[in-house]
A and B are shown apart, each in its own frame.
Chain A
Amino acid sequence: MDSRQLLQQYATGKTSFQGVRIRSADLLEADLIGVDLSKAELSSGNFMLAYLTRVDFSEANLSHSRLSGANLNQSKLIRARLNNADLHGSSLQGADLRGAQLTLANLLDANLMDCDLRNANLSGANLSGACLRGANLREEGSNRSTNLRGANLHQTDLRGANLSGADLARVDLSQADLGDATLRGADLRGADLRGANLSGTILTEADLSESTLENASLVNARLDRAKLIGTKANNSDFTFVTLADANLKHGSFVGAVMADAKLARCDASRADFTGSDLQRSILSEGYFARTNLSQTNLTEAVLVRAEISSANLNGAKLAGATMPDGSTYRR
């Protein structure tokens, strides 16, 4: 079958084309709304600006296809092969992409709102400027989490997305919007989160070690038991953040705003908080061995049973702070 025959048969009312083989199909701006192309062989085809809403592409091979500007809203792409596909400016709102192979796909400025991307492989994909609001990228099963390793998520809109357990190690998420997203247990080691919005984001038990969070906003984020070993978070906003039991060893939080943050039982040994604002923060039972707290504002902070004997508190403001022995600092 060729492209023309497909369009002719569709025009006569046929919608089931399961398993068809059309190599290098030319379906530019074609209207194939609602057809069943599951298990079809359609690699290297041209579907640019095509109308493909509610099309069933499950297990179809669309690798190396041109799907720029295609409208794939509510389409089924379960386990579809979309490796190296060009989906620049495409619309996939509400599409089912569970287990889809999107390795090295170009999803620049693609609309992926409310997509189901569980177990999808997006490694090396370009998601710059893409909108993944409300998308589901949650880890499913023990071994097959959504893979975003090496993906470009610069300025990507992931607001409210579920990325629990996702592999985002060394991913470029600079200036990305992850507000209210769920990243519980996600692997964000070495990720670039500079200028990212993580306000209200759930990062419980996430691993952010060696990541860069400079100038990021983490207001109200939940980071209980998260790992931030060697994380660089200078000038970031951690207001009202929860970092209870978190590991902040060797982290750099110079000039960070951590007012009203909850850091109880955290391990911040050898971390650098120079000039940071820790007003009213809860640091009870925290471990601050050789931590640099110089020039910090610890006004009214709670340091009950915190280990600060070897911390550098030069120039720190402690007025009204509750000291490790329970006394209130006055001067």
Chain B
Amino acid sequence: MVPSWLLDEVAQKLESQAERRQIHQLAFATHQHRWPEDPNLLDLYRLRDLVQDLTRNYRSFEELKQGLRRALSQAPESKAFIPAARTLLKVARQAYQGDGSAVALPSEASLDGFNPSDPAAQRLSPFETRASDATSHPFPPLPYDEIAATLEQSPSATRIKKLLYAVCSGEWSNDPVVLGRFRLTNLLKQLHKMSAEEEALHSALRNVVVTLNRQMEYELVAQLIQRECHRLYAPLEEVAKNHQPDSGFDSAPPTAYPEEEPFSTGPNRHPGSGVDPVPLGFYDDDDAPEPTGVLIPMGATANQQSDIQAENSNQRPPYASPESSPSQESWAAPDYNPDYAHSPQAAQTAAPAEQPARPLDWKGLAELRVELMRYANPLRVKALMFSTLYYPFDLNSGGDWSKLQTETLGDLILRLMDQFPSYSSLDEQLKLMACQMMPSDEYGNAAGAIARALRPFYP
């Protein structure tokens, strides 16, 4: 397998070429044995991934040449792709050794067995050499703060945090209180620690994104994270060049964030795998079910712990994870406290609720909609939800109608559950709002139907 830093280098060089589009098409055609008919198809395949697959499928440089030749022979306008083929071969050559075989990482299967004296390994990125300790290396400090600052500027900052939180914790949360406990910088560190290679980072993000309903939106968020995190995986020289030695980053112990709770190992960790498998299923983004396991705050006081436990008792149900791992140390965060993780409090915190609520997955949402439509007027249900979430809906306001048109009943249900993490507060607000709307008996009926339908989704 060609090391990731080398793949990055090759992909970057290819991306910087004027004929990059043709190169991308050619790489696709060589790999897929067909030319892309749909121009948008290429967007689904990153050039880096194609290059990686090509080096896997074509074990020698000569084989790659043959593959390109075959693809060219089937090209709609083969002459137009000859310069692209030449560039591709020229650049891709560096992924093959002198004997023409693909450059391989000496012990990629296990970074623990990595031998720093190996000359090939010395070219690894700083992170790769120190996969087990991302925060205390002698190399130039890694730019987590800079990346976090850039990401925080993004209009999708909230989604970025949600996605990073989901990747790092194996759980989804829409709760601002939960998300607020974690600094983006530390989530990035955790993500970096979990993903020894850029490819692993890609997979980790992808594994979560594919479980979301709003995949398109989160795909873009994932791409943004990958783009920004790319420098974490850049070759050593690049890191050294791009970062000032006196930036102070990571040279001191991590700054304490008043309310931050470093990750502890929840019940769904998969130690040592690099990427934690996130169970597949249809769950929405903002709308995703609440976490399975419980994040245990590090160094939390007894009061804090009980607060968190209390809060978790209000959370929506755990996302049923098919597996769990008893061994957790290797996943631990830098300041992971094994004593706490194995303490009775931790076991108690991570234990499932006595009356587990039904997970609000895609099927659950469909059933919920049916239930509401069967027992209440769909428009009144929507108007009441709208009023509870935003402001009293006005039947005579064109603006309110327009806004109501932009959100489906499903969207409103998820938003409502997001805004009201406890059932009692939801029920109370719905009743309160229904009393203020006319005819109040109709809206009272709608409130009752909503509360009844949503009840199984709360613990």
Interface size counted on chain B using CB atoms at 8 A: 31
How many cross-chain pairs have Cβ atoms below 8 Å apart between A and B? Answer: 87
- Point out the residue from A109, A175, A250 that lies within 8 Å of B378, measured CB to CB: A109
* 0 or 1 for each of B350-379: is its CB under 8 Å from A? (1 = yes): 000000000000110010011001100111
Q: Does B255 contact A (CB under 8 A)?
A: no
- Knowing A197-B362, A230-B37, A292-B33, the reply to whether A157 touches B370 (Cβ < 8 A) is yes
B window 236-282: CB within 8 A of A: 282
- Knowing A68-B379, A250-B34, the reply to whether A91 touches B366 (Cβ < 8 A) is no
Q: Does A262 contact B (CB under 8 A)?
A: no
* 0 or 1 for each of A96-127: is its CB under 8 Å from B? (1 = yes): 00000000001011110100000000000000
Q: Does A320 contact B (CB under 8 A)?
A: no
Q: How long is the Cα–Cα vector from A295 to B170 in the complex, in angstroms?
A: 28
- Knowing A230-B37, A270-B34, the reply to whether A69 touches B374 (Cβ < 8 A) is no
A68 proximity list for chain B (CB < 8 A): 379
A234 proximity list for chain B (CB < 8 A): 44
B101 proximity list for chain A (CB < 8 A): none
Q: Does A321 contact B (CB under 8 A)?
A: no
Q: Does B18 contact A (CB under 8 A)?
A: no
* 0 or 1 for each of A172-194: is its CB under 8 Å from B? (1 = yes): 00010100000000000000001
Q: Does the CB pair A235–B32 fall under 8 Å? A: no
Q: Does the CB pair B210–A157 fall under 8 Å? A: no
> Of the 9-residue stretches A1-9, A14-22, A37-45, A128-136, which lies at the interface with chain B?
A128-136
Q: Does B117 contact A (CB under 8 A)?
A: no
- Point out the residue from B215, B362, B378, B410 that lies within 8 Å of A69, measured CB to CB: B378
B window 5-62: CB within 8 A of A: 32-34, 37, 41, 44, 56-57
A215 proximity list for chain B (CB < 8 A): 210, 215
- Point out the residue from B363, B374, B408 that lies within 8 Å of A113, measured CB to CB: B374
B window 200-222: CB within 8 A of A: 210, 213, 215
- Knowing A131-B369, A157-B366, A235-B210, the reply to whether A91 touches B378 (Cβ < 8 A) is yes
* 0 or 1 for each of A48-82: is its CB under 8 Å from B? (1 = yes): 11000000000000000000110100000000000
Identity of the chain B residue whose Cβ is nearest the Cβ of A230 in the assembled complex: B37
B window 170-228: CB within 8 A of A: 210, 213, 215
B404 proximity list for chain A (CB < 8 A): 88
Q: How long is the Cα–Cα vector from A129 to B452 in the complex, in angstroms?
A: 21
Chain B residues in the interface with A (C-beta under 8 A): 32-34, 37, 41, 44, 56-57, 210, 213, 215, 282, 362-363, 366, 369-370, 373-374, 377-382, 395, 404-405, 408-410
Q: Which 6 A-B pairs have the closest CB atoms?
A: A89-B379, A69-B379, A129-B408, A111-B373, A89-B378, A109-B409
28 A-B residue pairs with CB within 8 Å: A48-B395, A49-B377, A49-B380, A88-B404, A88-B405, A89-B380, A90-B379, A109-B378, A109-B408, A109-B409, A111-B373, A113-B373, A129-B408, A155-B408, A155-B410, A157-B369, A157-B370, A159-B366, A194-B215, A195-B215, A197-B282, A215-B215, A232-B41, A234-B44, A270-B33, A272-B32, A290-B33, A314-B57
Chain A residues in the interface with B (C-beta under 8 A): 48-49, 68-69, 71, 88-91, 93, 106, 108-111, 113, 128-129, 131, 133, 155, 157, 159, 175, 177, 194-195, 197, 215, 230, 232, 234-235, 250, 252, 270, 272, 290, 292, 294, 312, 314-315
